[in-house]
Amino acid sequence: MNHPTPLISIDEFAQIQNKDQLLIVDCRFNPAAPEESYQSYLSTHIPGAVYAHLNNHLSDLSRQGKDLLGKQPLPSAEQWAATLSSWGWSPELTVIAYDDSGAMLAAARLWWIMHWMNVPVQILDGGFSAYQRAGHPVESGAVERTPTQVAPVAFDSNKAIFTQDLRHAVDNHQVCIVDARPQDRYLGKNNADPVPGHIPGATHRFAAENLQEDKHFCTSSDLREAFIKLIGDRDPSTVVHSCGSGVFACQNLLAMEIAGLHGSKLYAPSWSGWTSDPENPVTTG
């Protein structure tokens, strides 16, 4: 199977002559001030970019806490089709997403949702800060694209796993879970999570470890070495990524794809979904 590279460099992006064939999506998001994120976009962004809000476009918060879906439930197929339509998406377009956090938040989430429907997306390596440092043009104001007709999308069930199926897989030692949260949360030494700890058997790789100091991704060879050290000789298809609510985990999954380790899954409800069922076991330390 052909796996297009998930990253595009600032220089590669700048050399694209026909930007009309692109759908550029600004995914900058500040969890501490969610609505200020959109204001930052309105102030300055890459020319032609539409805006993706983590809570409003890349999640369905109306389902928060329901059906063990966790605190950041994914959008439904119908909702996602409506969002794509509002952005003027069509299958012929190349989608390029960026944020300012090394794709630890909304950019990787957008990448994964499109990956879930088997549509490739490229992440602008280094994000908006690197783009600005390179001196490329910016613009302000909201971008309005002509809406398209997008039918309800089909998601690939092989790319996601949910709580009941994961519980069965954990009980039968069928998966290798990689927890993307900061180490103190994984160990249960931080009260950021209502229930401390992690899923039994889960190993740990904080998503920020996939980045260099300037928020560019580490090289594919370095990422491959790190993940092989973590998962051993397991088939990548047995690897499941988790975090607090299914956001950080997308970046670890993205990093494995960059490393050429294809086929791992996202546990979208993540820790918030797992601990919604008091019958699910937890581990600390």
Residues assigned a catalytic role = 243
Q: How far apart are CA 149 and CA 86, in angstroms?
A: 9
Q: How far apart are CA 220 and CA 230, in angstroms?
A: 15
Q: Are 49 and 131 in contact (CB under 8 A)?
A: no
Picking from 238, 213, 209, the residue whose alpha carbon sits closest to that of residue 226 is: 209
